[in-house]
Amino acid sequence: MVSISSLFLRTARNFSKDGSKVSTLVPRTHGIGGFDEFKHSLLLARTFASSSRRNEINKVFPSAAEAIGDMKSGSTLLSGGFGLCGVPDTLINELEKNPHIKDLTCVSNNAGVDGGGLGKLLATGQVKKMIASYVGENKTFERKYLTGEIELELTPQGTLAERCRAGGAGIAAFFTPTAPGTWVQTGELPTKYNADGTVAQFSKPREVREFGGKAYVMEEAIKGDYAFVKAWKADPLGNVQFRYSGQNFNGAMARNATVTIVEAEEIVPVGGIDPASIHVPGIYVSRVIQSTAEKGIEKRVNAKGPEEAVSALGSGETANKRERIVRRAAKEFKDGMYANLGIGMPMLAPSFVDPSVEVQLQSENGILGLGPYPQKGEEDPDLINAGKETVTLNKGAAVFGSDESFGMIRSGRIDLTILGAMQVNMFGDLASWALPGKIKGMGGAMDLVSNPEKTKVVVTMEHTDRKGNPKILKQCAFPLTGRRCVSRIITELAVFDVDFKKGLTLVEHAEDVTVEEIKSKTEAPFNVSPNLKPMEL
């Protein structure tokens, strides 16, 4: 005879999420039970499923001061943002008011600008160490690093995004194709200077392994104690939605830290964000506050036609040289391509592309389908490109986080990248991010050249430097961005194709330039193509 109790449900386990015990019900297959247990189980089931019960979870804090109230000196702080876009300024401003919280290790793509973003914490002396990809135009950041006041762990932008993502995903380390043979891998990056400008400490060398005949660098994950995150919308459960390129590093960092604090422009009721629009589920978020800081724009740039693009290249002979380079670079775009453009001359090349050629432009801060610069008055602080310039989106564009953006790049989904350079050698080694005594950071360049087998890397640069010294060399004198990665070099004098084993071949020359003149201004030896022709413009 079957026991009545075997037809009932039993309590399988209890767990505590918000301080109350919740029971999960499963079919009873053995033991003794009765109607009391059955009714109790059904009551618990109804309680767990009710919206009124669920809405008792409330992660909203009344102020930034209360949200950071338990923060301690020596913490590792992850801070979202790219330039001034998507920066959690309300939380940073509150931390600035608490100078006793110091000796921080801050992890962010960059440190904002002087007087903005993390730049404020650098000024107050609360930062002991920065882990970043870019120093940029932040003079306080550069000065404090070069005089030994702070430590700096420069990290390629895509590697930084992935280290943060991995730290939140329970992955201790990973291998990346970014940066083999560079200072990042060999351990030659100065991480700390003495006050007199001499190097006090260098970075640690990275392990390198070969997979499928290609070199990969091992990088360890970053784990944060606190994460400051800027969102467009958040609800009391901690669910988060970002807006356009404001997503950048915010998503990866939100998923990482022990305590994630989100400042949101809008705090909406539970259900106020469509489930399909939630970028970070509430399980990752500890606290939510109302964002009160005004959003900033670092570089307001407006729409340019071809004539205006030319005016942006400078004046006189310099402008003539650069126009020739940009017009020739525009010929590299082919219909249906996915392309990524570096700052400077590469960003102006689309102005000269034939309208019949459709190209999808990708920006490593999280945009695919990048549109032109906006008309004056239509700038959006949540729409910027990798150069921190205001942009627009084309119809059909997609936005995403920096970690996904660099996944596209490293995996070779980008057909073409056009970059500036300081030097290129005869076998395609590229130097583009550091000069003696000056450190700007590599940003995303090392990642962009990490898969030259699938992504064609084109360099646009003037043939010689300001002193007339060649920039196409036998060996690069400056720190490398990548080895054996440049496929084509475009200057105002010539176009070279690069074979990673055989070297350079001159394939085009400017109409008023002879091969002998090109040789006189090029240190590296090169072959001349039997099909040498005038430069396409």
Q: Is 289 helix (H, G, I), strand (E, B) or coil?
A: strand
Q: Is 458 helix (H, G, I), strand (E, B) or coil?
A: strand
As given in the structure block, the two tokens for residue 25 are 């019900």
Catalytic residue from among 219, 364, 389, 508 = 364
Instruction: State residue 315 phi and psi, 5-degree precision.
Output: -140, 165
- CB-CB contact of 374 with 367 (8 Å): no
As given in the structure block, the two tokens for residue 10 are 């039993």
364 among known catalytic residues: yes
SS3 per residue for 13-76: EEEECCCCEEEEEEECCCCCCCHHHHHHHHHHHHHHHCHHHHCCCCCECCCHHHHCCCCCCCCE
- Could you give the CA distance from residue 282 to residue 239 in angstroms, rounded to a whole number? 4
Instruction: State residue 122 phi and psi, 5-degree precision.
Output: -65, -40
- Could you give the CA distance from residue 218 to residue 206 in angstroms, rounded to a whole number? 6
DSSP state, 138? -
- CB-CB contact of 413 with 452 (8 Å): no
- Could you give the CA distance from residue 381 to residue 376 in angstroms, rounded to a whole number? 13
- CB-CB contact of 112 with 120 (8 Å): yes
Identify residue 374 by its one-letter amino acid code. Answer: P
- Could you give the CA distance from residue 77 to residue 108 in angstroms, rounded to a whole number? 9
- Could you give the CA distance from residue 288 to residue 240 in angstroms, rounded to a whole number? 10
Q: Is 486 helix (H, G, I), strand (E, B) or coil?
A: coil
As given in the structure block, the two tokens for residue 349 are 């090349």
511 sits in the region (left: phi over 0; alpha: psi -120 to 50; else beta) called alpha
As given in the structure block, the two tokens for residue 283 are 């399980």
- Could you give the CA distance from residue 409 to residue 413 in angstroms, rounded to a whole number? 6
Collect all residues with Cβ–Cβ distance below 8 Å to 24 and sequence separation of at least 6.
Answer: 11, 12, 13
- CB-CB contact of 494 with 506 (8 Å): yes
Q: Among 475, 480, 416, which Cα is nearest to 448's? A: 416
Q: Is 311 helix (H, G, I), strand (E, B) or coil?
A: helix
- The owner of tokens 């904002």 is 112
Q: What is the set of active-site residues?
A: 364
